[in-house]
Amino acid sequence: MNNMGKFKIEFTIFSFLICLIIGIGFAFQMKVSDGQRMYVSYKTIEDYKVAIKGEKQDLKKLREILKSTGQKVDEYETLQDSQESQATLVKEKLQEEVFLYKTASGRDKIHGPGVEVTVDDATREIFEFEDVNNLLVHDTDLLMIINELNRCGAEAISVNGQRITPRTAVVCSGYTVRINGEVYARPFKIRAIGDAKRMYEGLLAKESYGTALKEWGVQFEVKISDDIVMEPVTDSLNIYMKKVQGEEKV
């Protein structure tokens, strides 16, 4: 075989290999779509995987919401169709209202989270020409603290164990304070059930009455409690008012 024939054979083999390599490259770089192929990088594939995963999670959440909504609809339909269920629901609502009224009137023993406030006379020396009453705790001080607690959403309040109700009177009696007919001396322990954080921050705010007491030298301390127990009021409740019969509601 002469050199020209040998060269043609080698050229043919070389061309075949080149075409084969190019063909394999296209096969790996192209994606079948209507007879044509498209290049898809590894990063694109990973992005699609992440997107699909996110869509699956969203779909799962939507299915859970749909399931929960369906359950609520079933519950409402059951209540609507069942007179017995409606009666039970009304009874539960009435019991909740009775509990709220009894709590407000102090007729039940209750417990819950809240704050404990300790107020006591000042221990500092009296200034020259100063009124000694500035160093003492008065009924007005207790009332101001009670008002501050009510403003911060207190659900129930007691002073030295006496529940504070709409009928409670807090009156000074010498160096003591009379609450619900009982006489108490310092220190005064005020407890309140409700949003502990809100009451704590309200009592110790810069412009609060408690802060003013501390600046005057009166002892004022507030701490949060996870569970406060309050006893019911002990006095008898006589109701004298009656509904006027025969008058139409306006």
Q: What letters, b where the CB count within 10 A reaches 16 and e where it falls short, cover 3-39?
A: eeeeeeeeeeeeeeeeeeeeeeeeeeeeeeeeeeeee
pLDDT of residue 189: 96
Whether 236 shows a pLDDT value over 80: the answer reads no
Higher pLDDT, 176 or 73: 176
CATH superfamily, domain 112-230, is Protein of unknown function DUF881 (3.30.70.1880)
Tell me the Cα Rg of the chain.
Answer: 40
Give the pLDDT of residue 151.
Answer: 92
Q: Give the position of tokens 């069942």.
A: 82
Closest CA to 224 of 134, 138, 108, 114: 114
- pLDDT exceeds cutoff 90 at 26: no
What is d(CA 249, CA 35) in angstroms, rounded to the nearest whole number? 83
Please list, in sequence order, all residues whose beta carbon lies within 8 angstroms of the beta carbon of residue 210, skipping any fewer than 6 positions away: 117, 145, 148, 203, 204, 220, 222
Query: What mean pLDDT comes out for the span 173-179?
Result: 84
pTM equals: 0.58
- 157 has pLDDT over 50: yes
Q: pLDDT tens across 191-211, in order?
A: 999 999 999 999 999 889 999
* Averaged pLDDT, 131-149: 87
Residue 216 is encoded by which pair of tokens?
């005057």
More confident residue, 11 or 183: 183
Question: Over the chain, what is the mean pLDDT?
Answer: 76
State yes or no: cis peptide before 232, omega within 30 of 0: no
Predicted pLDDT at 32: 45
Measure the CA–CA gap between 137 and 2, rounded to whole angstroms: 126
